[in-house]
Amino acid sequence: MWKTARNSTVRMIRMIYFLIYMSAPIIDVEELNFYYDYKLPTETYALKDVNLQVNQGDYVVFFGPSGCGKTTLVYLIGGITTEKSGTGKIIVNNADVLQLSREELASFRQTGIGIIFQNFNLIPSLTVLDNVALPMTFVGVPQEKRREEARKILARLGMDIYAERYPMELSGGQQQRAGIARALANNPPIIIADEPLGNLDSENAEHVLKFLKELQEKDGRTVIMVTHEAWSVRDADKIIYMKDGGVVKVDTSGTVTNAEIIPLTAQLNRELYPDLSTDEIMVKSLSNLLLRGFSSDEVKRFEFFLDERLSGKIDAATFEAMLDRPYHQEGVGLWKQRALKISAITEDIIAERKKLIEVLHELEKEPEKSLTMEVSDLRTWALKGYNGHVDDRQRHRLDDLVSKRLRGGIPADDFRKALNLPRSKDGVGFSLRTAQHISDRLESVLVSGLPGDIKEAITNVTNV
Ligand code: ADP
Ligand code: MG
């Protein structure tokens, strides 16, 4: 009797501990303010009243445009920045990083958090193996053990064959992997990757994202990924949006799937750049998705030409030529085939948007105007890429829905749901995927909508 009671009490206590442990965030930032060059003429107020929590075992994205304070924030969390011009609290694993002594900080940096730096930060005079083993030196791991551990980590990243090379002898992608391996030394429970995709091509960028996700799912690490590229926020348990040194929004709606990236991108851009016009938002969203993995300079240049193209300052041929022209000759420097594809996608969207804007103008003048032809054209365009059969009844229902959507009589969400609803319930009876595809395409050309054809574009472009 006593025994049973005791067991159940122990279980309960364990459960309580478990709940406390699980529910306490592993990182808790409270009212953090930070200045560079405090009280000097060059003072920068880099972080403003930042509050955020990261839970144990989560995959969290810090998302925001360049200069919004992401690196400042993660360097403070990781104990890299030691300037004392910050106020507030940064609790990591129950310790306040801002209050740690110099010695405590040094140990925290080696074992508490592994940081993957944007510019790799490898030591040029050490081999890859020694770079990875270095953090273990600081915590007194004997040399043989260090090298053995470093080799294991490198092998996991497919980098063991480069162990004896120097950083200079590696490609950008390989250096990045060496940087990731070094962040894993000493098994830190938290991994922070500061813009790990910035310097990588799309294939390497995909690998890095997958690996970070694996560190969370298989190794149970808490992972923070810092990015300004909307396409890369997928799979996050939590997205923390930053702007001008502050947190503007926290999204915990859960894992973002591929299908959700498109609307999300436009939504993100709209939230981050509320002052931009729809066309400017379109430029940002398109470039985010088409130029995944490109450097910010290339993206800037792409956005410039896309903007010129959308506003009609350059024609299709010039746009395509500028995409293809080498970077050092003032072009974007894309691969020929990629330039052709991106230009084709862009032209298709521009043409359809143009038609649609005319239709919307007509509707403004005459709201009850019948649009049979226009709706049927738009429906045909939206169906492009769908190879299944559409019978008369479906077509009729579809046109009815498109017409309602055009007239603002039904929100985008309801439109998509109606496409997916079975015919018996007065829907079109498309699969969820087809419904999403068609609705994405339609929304892409609606004036308030977002760039279309993008999901297809991503697949096509990245498959080139
Ligand atoms: P992000 O990583 O989001 O691009 P940063 O954290 O690098 O943003 O920069 C935030 C702001 O702080 C910017 O205005 C930047 O110019 C400024 N800043 C960053 N590092 C320093 C520094 N070492 N000294 C002075 N100002 C800095
Ligand atoms: Mg940065």
Per-residue pLDDT, 255: 55
Helix axes 454-463, 336-365, angle to 10 degrees: 170
What's the token pair of residue 368?
């009850």
Residue nearest to atom 20 of ligand 1 (CA): 72
Q: Residue 90 has what DSSP assignment?
A: E
Residue 72: CB within 6 Å of ligand 1?
yes
Give nearest CA residue, ligand 1 atom 25.
36
In angstroms, the CA 127 to CA 232 distance is 31
Backbone φ and ψ of 444, nearest 5°: -60, -30
66 touches ligand 1 (CB under 6 Å): yes
Q: How far is the CA of 45 from the centre of ligand 1 (A)?
A: 9
Measured CA to CA, the distance from residue 335 to residue 454 in angstroms comes to 19
Residues lower than pLDDT 50 in the chain: 1-5, 17-18, 20-22, 258-259, 447-464
| pLDDT tens digits, 198-209 | 767 777 888 899
Q: DSSP 3-state assignment of 55? A: strand
Pocket of ligand 1 contains residue 67 by CB under 6 Å:
yes
Q: Where do we find the tokens 């996608």?
A: 345
* Cα 289 to middle of ligand 1, angstroms: 25
What is the per-residue pLDDT for 89? 95
Contacts of residue 390, Cβ cutoff 8 Å, sequence gap at least 6 = 383, 398
Q: Where in the chain is the domain with CATH 3.40.50.300?
A: 18-270
- For the entire predicted model, the pTM comes to 0.62
Written as one letter, the residue type at 460 is: N
% of the chain residues with pLDDT over 70: 81
Nearest 5°: CA angle at 177, between 187 and 220? 35
C-beta of residue 54 within 8 angstroms of C-beta of residue 232: no
Q: For residue 195, which ligand has an atom nearest its CA?
A: 2
Task: Name which of 149, 158, 156, 74 is nearest 116 in CA terms.
Answer: 74
From 72, 119, 197, 244, mutation site for ligand 1 pocket: most ligand atoms within 8 A of C-beta: 72
The reported pLDDT for the residue numbered 454 is: 37
For ligand 2, an ion, list residues with CB under 5 A. Answer: 70-71
Report how far residue 44's alpha carbon sits from residue 246's, in angstroms, rounded to the nearest whole number: 13
Partners of 222 in beta bridges: 190
pLDDT (0 to 100) of residue 438: 85
Question: What residue's CA is closest to ligand 1, atom 23?
Answer: 36
Residue identifier of the C-alpha nearest atom 7 of ligand 1: 71
Residue 228 alpha carbon, nearest atom of ligand 1:
3
Distant-in-sequence contacts of 296-305, Cβ < 8 A, 24+ apart: 296/66, 296/198, 296/228, 297/327, 298/327, 298/332, 298/333, 301/327, 301/331, 301/332, 302/332, 305/332
**pLDDT at residue number 463:** 37
Determine the 3-state secondary structure of 162 from DSSP.
helix
Specify the residue with its C-alpha closest to ligand 1, atom 14: 67
Is the CB–ligand 1 distance for residue 306 below 6 Å? no
Proximal ligand: closest to the CA of 193: 2
What tokens does 103 get? 């010695």
Return the sign of the alpha-carbon dihedral for residues 388, 391, 392, 393: negative
The CATH class that applies to domain 18-270 reads alpha beta
Q: Which two tokens stand for residue 225?
A: 């990924």
pLDDT tens track for 429-461: 998 878 877 887 787 677 444 333 333 433 333
